[in-house]
Chain A
Amino acid sequence: MNAHPSGYHKVLLDINLTTGEIKKIPIPQEDIEHFVGGRGLGMKILWDRLKKPGIDALSPENPLMFMPGPFSGFPIPSASRTVVVTKSPATSPDTSPYPHASTVSYSNIGGFLGPEIRFAGYDGIVISGKAPTPSYIVIEDDRVEIRDAKPFWGMKTDAFDKTLVKELNNKRFQTCYIGPAGENLVSYACILHTTARAAGRGVGAVMGSKNLKAIAVKGTGMPNVADLKAFNNSLSDVRGVFKGLTGGLLTGFWRESGTAAVLQMMSDDGLMAVKNYREGTFAEIEKINAKVAREKAWVRDFACYCCCLACKKSGAVKDGPYKTIVHDGPEYETGVMFGANLMISDFNGLMKAIYDGDDLGMDIISAGNVIGFLMEAHEKGYVTKADLDGIDLTWGNVDAVLLIIDKISRRDGIGDLAAQGVKAVSKQVGRNSEQFAIHVKGLELAAHNIHANPPRALCYATSNRGACHLSGDNIAHQNFVAAVDSLGLCLFASDHNKWMLPGISKRKIANLLTAITGIEWDADKFIEAGERVFNLEKMFNLREGFTREDDQLPDRFFAEPFTMGPEKGARLDRQEFTELMDKFYAERNWNPKTTRPTDEKLKQLNLEFTI
């Protein structure tokens, strides 16, 4: 049909901000077949680019990658995701020969960015180096420019989003950018797209370290399809997954309330991060749940590229001191981390805090976790009000949260310490505070509590980017997630949760992938690609010096049972958890002592180059 009937452009856009050199570089066919795209292909490039351990994540050498996948750009339902891949600025091992050792990092962002990168003619953007002065990148098909961002440096994301549209003078550009948190290298800074969709877990700090304020991309092309007839048939089949028997759409709770739908359920089931993970149930959840959001704030539903789920809401604060705030309103993570975890039940205050967190460009998961820790340390008398620059950081105090996140974004006073993440704060606070510093490998846990959820505990402990609630609760799930993350497809549109929600099965995914790429894929081969990606990430982390000691959870989950709610008395059992982990390593063919994959496993997965 065309020159590259493969579903790929087979081209990466390679930009060196130090030299200003812009190149198109080919992607080896073998990497496409083994690592697919997105998270997988990004990890392979990360491995190739960082040839030795201990390279500082905030140094010019660390590549920052924006990786769509082979589904991106096609009108496949929810094929809207872009994975930002880089070396993590947020994680660290307990001990390592390398001072800047850290894990891989990847963060998955929805919206329209990944498809547009493919329309512009690229399967990914790889940015290295450091611009001499604040800069932004404009990509319009073949034309790529590095422009001056000095006038915009320091701007918060909402205002910058509006300014950049005017500056570009064309609404068809898709943009992503950092706020003050990223500029000031807050270890959990975000990269934002459309002011509310965020790639978190620290990738914004890497962007800031490169003096890169924004990327704008616009394209007019399209990757080709290997077998258009099979593609059209598969596409109809996949669209049918979301169609009800009597017409209308099957969208589960996504359409109704997005992830906020589960705020009430998770609290009711004792699975929520409450009061710095001390409890699993929030007594005041009725004041901040989806029902309240719908009544008080939400105005409309919004969707990512070609998605029929529309889990994004838009809303406005309609009364009180924060009137005029226009923003998404709580999702599950933001609603818990700035809500229940800080004992905040003032809905409008929660909206304001979420707006400010996004506006400053920080990961609300980590920010809520760090602030929860400081509130607890303050309550216990480990830190004084004077240590907190006079901020009355007590449970439920919205104004104190607004003050401290502003300080974090500017790294002012206590904000400078808090900007380094909960592991660093706990180290400074000392005493036994590491018991309630809720992180794994230095990355803060998300809004899912685990006293009563051992599989999710394993998920956090074994995730390759540090504590992550989406890494997968078991081996099959981990492999599946890694594979889906490599497609450009949204996990929410897959059937990962098939007993509750409609979704696309791995068989249907494989059919689409075969039609698009012309490479024969089936469900097993697809899952094996996920296993390959997960193992490559593991090998990267091992090379940095991470050991089994780093797959540890904070003591709180073992030592302090819930005192209330349906799971009252629940805690993790250390013996049982160790056995669960032993079993996990054995089933993965990883050495239980060192957690290193066996050479046989690596060879089986075509990962000989890591041995």
Chain B
Amino acid sequence: MKGNSTASSHQPQTLIDGKPVSRREFISRLALGGGALVLLSGCSRWALPGSGAKDREKIYEFIAVDYSKCTGCRTCEAVCASANNPVSVDGRMMPGPGNPALSNIYVHSFNPDVSAPAVCASCADIPCVNACPVDPDPATGRRALFREAKWGGITNDPERCISCGSCVDACGADSVGILAQHPETGRPMRMCTLCDGDPECVRHCPYDALSMIRVTADHPYYRMSPEEIAEKLSNRWYDLSV
């Protein structure tokens, strides 16, 4: 884990069906077929904040991956790109053809076989927003990158963005590393929109590997890079390192 990892200093508590388990146990359960836990215990409530959760660790929604179910098919990429890049046909907006280069979720595949979809973690401490050098708007208090109120998604204000890439660097240094600069505009891309609360990737994943859940920083694999995740899973599944 990168950045503000606390995993090594103490064992945060997570609740599964109301019973506290250690982080270590939790990770091993998840990877050993614990996908069922996500379904059985109610997607949005299974990872509640531990007793030590601070105010700043406000709960946000994000797309959680059950790596034991993901097959690396990249359907999520295509449907994300379709929904978030609609096309106007005869004056009506409709889902685009689904170019995965425009997706906000990116599946990283490794040898030996591990597929690790990377998606915006909706970090509570918003390193990307905090790295934005644009002065906050006096009226709204927003920089060029900000967290929108409804779903907590990170949003870019194209009018005020100076295309400096600071947010992208911060995401790479402190979180998943999903943000990228648009090849033409230089503005940040791949912030998850959560599709207004009904994410297309979750709806269309053929393998039920994705769910929209509320998390705290002690969620397993949370904010890890795909490479770190792949190394851990590869060691566990195949008894090898990537």
Contact = CB atoms under 8 A, between A and B. Distances in A.
Interface of A: 1, 74-75, 112, 119, 158, 161-162, 165, 171, 194-195, 219-225, 228-229, 231-232, 239, 242, 249, 299-308, 310, 314, 316, 318, 324, 326
Interface in B97-133: 97-101, 108-109, 111-113, 115
A310 B238 contact: no
Nearest to A307: B73
B82 A75 contact: yes
B101 A219 contact: yes
Given A195-B111, A300-B237, 18 more contacts: A119-B99, A194-B113, A220-B99, A222-B97, A222-B101, A228-B94, A299-B238, A302-B71, A302-B72, A303-B206, A305-B73, A306-B73, A308-B206, A316-B112, A316-B238, A318-B239, A324-B239, A324-B240
B111 A220 contact: no
A302 B115 contact: yes
B237 A299 contact: yes
A326 B240 contact: yes
B112 A326 contact: yes
Contacts of A303: 71-73, 206-207
Nearest to A301: B71
A310 B71 contact: yes
A302 B114 CA distance: 9
Q: Give the interface residue-count category, chain B.
A: 20 to 34
Given A249-B206, A316-B237, A318-B239, A306 B94 contact: no
Given A1-B87, A221-B99, A303-B73, A75 B238 contact: no
Contacts of B79: 75
B95 interface: yes
B99 A305 contact: no
B36 to A, nearest CB: 14
Given A1-B89, A308-B73, A222 B99 contact: yes
Interface string B156-173: 000000000000000000
Contacts of A304: 73
A224 B239 CA distance: 44
Contacts of B204: 239
A303 B108 CA distance: 13
B68 interface: yes
B65 interface: no
Interface string B62-83: 0000001001111100110010
- Which interface residue of A225, A229, A302 has the most chain B CB atoms within 10 A? A302
Q: Which A-B residue pairs are the 8 nearest by beta carbons?
A: A75-B78, A308-B206, A303-B73, A222-B99, A314-B113, A303-B71, A220-B101, A326-B112
25 contacts: A75-B98, A112-B74, A158-B111, A161-B111, A194-B109, A221-B99, A222-B97, A222-B98, A222-B99, A228-B89, A229-B94, A232-B95, A300-B68, A302-B113, A303-B71, A303-B206, A305-B74, A306-B73, A307-B206, A310-B73, A314-B238, A316-B238, A324-B239, A326-B112, A326-B238
Contacts of A219: 101
B239 A232 contact: no
Contacts, number: 100
Contacts of B115: 302
A74 B111 CA distance: 25
Given A310-B73, A316-B237, A324-B240, A194 B111 contact: yes
Nearest to B97: A225
Contacts of B239: 316, 318, 324
Contacts of B112: 314, 316, 326
A1 B79 CA distance: 20
- Which interface residue of A1, A75, A303, A310 has the most chain B CB atoms within 10 A? A75
A253 to B, nearest CB: 16
Interface string B119-154: 000000000000000000000000000000000000
- Which interface residue of B97, B108, B115, B207 has the most chain A CB atoms within 10 A? B97
Nearest to A231: B97
B73 A224 contact: no
Contacts of B100: 119
B52 interface: no
Contacts of A308: 73, 75, 206-207
A304 B89 CA distance: 30
B214 to A, nearest CB: 24
A158 B112 CA distance: 9
A455 to B, nearest CB: 33
B18 interface: no
A112 to B, nearest CB: 7
B97 A171 contact: no
B79 to A, nearest CB: 7
B91 interface: no
A232 B98 CA distance: 10
A305 B79 CA distance: 12
B206 A74 contact: no
Contacts of B78: 74-75, 306
A225 B89 CA distance: 11
Contacts of B238: 299, 314, 316, 326
Contacts of A1: 87, 89
Contacts of B207: 301, 303, 308, 310
B113 A300 contact: yes
B75 A75 contact: yes
- Which interface residue of B96, B101, B113, B239 has the most chain A CB atoms within 10 A? B113
A162 B239 CA distance: 17
A165 B109 CA distance: 11
A573 to B, nearest CB: 45
Contacts of B109: 171, 194
Nearest to B207: A310
